[in-house]
């Protein structure tokens, strides 16, 4: 490519100098424009601080092209500076069918002015040709027929530059969306203000009006949903709530899974996930169950628990079983704990293994159990199967208080589970209470084995 400086040319040499342009098709050719556009048209670029400034389409094209060329290393600072207008322009490029109807096209500059610029496309001076090309890109869209006429010119230079102008207006990155995905996410994950998050949500809804997307468009729409969830804005996530009830269960599940996976902050549980828990469609409920575990959103905590209890009480397997994990881990629900314990006697080996894993991985909650739970737990503590007795002790040990400690001490003589009773006592948060009750057992308990084990535990604790 020739350097951007005045060069006088003999007209016969033009074809050799511009042979690379022969391969330019009607697509986004912004890489050809980069340096000349930035140098010549810098005064036309958007001032991000001016609220009413109009986004320069050339700049947006360059920024969108950067998503494809830089991928996950894309620097989105310029796009962020453009605010909601910048996001809208990006979505116009990548999801053009979601854009609002375009206003009626203005006729543009007078025909005489456009013809003058077209005539300069064949000027002897390179800078004059380049200046005319960029001015046509910026100003001649309303006079498109004149540019199309120029694209049929006998002059190769005029034809190629007219094609370049037309190509800049006809960006269709949708045919190669995969190239933009990493860069687009590098931009979207930085959205945190409500205006842009709401705009992203509304354009996502528009994109799904055509039904379940496929291929790279599916990946792009998923990133849009993920961006809304990642922004942790309640109002923006609420805009997506109707999609949980979408008649296409694939869309309902897609939205539920993606919001759940990308909300990232445990203290933020959008109402959308609670809606999904109440769905009549099992696959939607199952998707929501995977992502409410560990939620610490205090204002939503009661509604999440109520929704989980509804699943536990009315739904058939396997949803009932799956609802137990957040119920026992986050809400210390006694009924759910007893149900999980009962699964250790299941004929399904996978279910038994899952139940034992849940029990073994759950930490002490620091709360006292209710009397009903202690009573209903007793048969498990006396079960014939040693594995079930051990599991029951682990469940008992997730609670705290004097009643729990006394029951654990009473289980010390059971050689099959004594080690588990020891571990549960040592894991109790109130160590002083454990020491006191073990010391009492040394004095008042008649079982010599309890006294021996109590002394051994005291020695460990000291």
Domain boundaries, the chain: 11-174, 343-462
Distance separating alpha carbons of residues 458 and 59, to the nearest angstrom: 73
Confidence grade of residue 349 (pLDDT, cut at 50, 70, 90): very high
Assign 104 a pLDDT band (cuts: 50, 70, 90): low
- Report the range of poorest mean pLDDT among 111-125, 155-169, 206-220, 418-432: 155-169
Q: Can you give the pLDDT at residue 106? A: 64
Q: Are 94 and 174 in contact (CB under 8 A)?
A: yes
| Cα-Cα end-to-end distance for the chain | 82
Task: Report the helix count and the strand count for the chain, using DSSP H and E.
Answer: 26, 0
pLDDT at 35: 33
Match 């605010």 to its residue by tokens.
Answer: 83
Q: Is the pLDDT of residue 373 over 70?
A: yes
Residue 367 CA to residue 364 CA, distance in Å, equals 8
- Least confident interval from 34-43, 189-198, 251-260, 445-454: 34-43
Percent of the chain with pLDDT over 70: 85
Round to whole Å and give the CA distance between 134 and 164. Answer: 10
């Amino acid at each position: 490519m020739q350097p951007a400086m005045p060069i006088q040319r003999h007209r016969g040499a033009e074809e050799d100098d511009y042979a690379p342009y022969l391969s330019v098709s009607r697509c986004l050719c912004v890489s050809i424009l980069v340096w000349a556009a930035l140098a010549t048209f810098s005064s036309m670029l958007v001032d991000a601080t001016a609220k009413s400034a109009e986004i320069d389409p050339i700049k947006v094209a360059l920024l969108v092209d950067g998503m494809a060329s830089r991928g996950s290393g894309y620097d989105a600072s310029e796009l962020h500076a453009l605010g909601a207008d910048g996001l809208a322009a990006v979505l116009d490029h990548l999801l053009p069918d979601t854009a609002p109807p375009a206003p009626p096209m203005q006729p543009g500059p007078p025909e005489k002015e456009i013809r003058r610029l077209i005539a300069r496309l064949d000027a002897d001076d390179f800078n004059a040709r380049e200046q005319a090309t960029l001015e046509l890109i910026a100003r001649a869209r309303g006079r498109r027929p004149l540019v199309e006429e120029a694209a049929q010119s006998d002059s190769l230079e005029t034809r190629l530059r007219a094609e370049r102008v037309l190509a800049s207006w006809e960006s269709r990155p949708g045919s190669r969306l995969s190239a933009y995905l990493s860069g687009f996410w590098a931009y979207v994950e930085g959205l945190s203000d409500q205006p842009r998050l709401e705009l992203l949500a509304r354009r996502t809804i528009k994109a799904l009006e055509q039904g379940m997307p496929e291929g790279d468009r599916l990946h792009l729409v998923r990133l849009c949903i993920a961006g809304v969830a990642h922004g942790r804005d309640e109002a923006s996530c609420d805009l997506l709530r109707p999609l949980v009830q979408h008649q296409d269960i694939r869309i309902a599940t897609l939205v539920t899974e993606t919001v759940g996976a990308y909300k990232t902050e445990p203290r933020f549980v959008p109402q959308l996930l609670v809606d999904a828990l109440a769905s009549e469609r099992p696959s939607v409920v199952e998707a929501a169950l995977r992502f409410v575990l560990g939620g610490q959103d205090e204002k939503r905590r009661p509604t999440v628990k109520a929704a989980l209890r509804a699943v536990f009480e009315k739904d058939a397997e396997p949803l009932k079983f799956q609802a137990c994990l957040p119920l026992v881990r986050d809400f210390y629900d006694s009924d759910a704990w007893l149900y999980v314990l009962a699964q250790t006697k299941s004929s399904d080996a996978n279910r038994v293994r899952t139940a034992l894993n849940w029990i073994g991985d759950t930490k002490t909650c620091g709360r006292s159990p209710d009397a009903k739970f202690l009573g209903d737990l007793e048969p498990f503590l006396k079960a014939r199967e040693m594995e079930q007795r051990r599991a029951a002790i682990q469940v008992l040990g997730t609670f705290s208080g004097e009643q729990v400690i006394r029951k654990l001490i009473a289980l010390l003589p059971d050689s099959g589970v004594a080690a588990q009773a020891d571990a549960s006592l040592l894991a109790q948060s109130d160590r002083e209470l454990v020491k006191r009750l073990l010391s009492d057992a040394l004095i008042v308990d008649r079982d010599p084995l309890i006294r021996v084990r109590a002394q051994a535990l005291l020695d460990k604790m000291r």
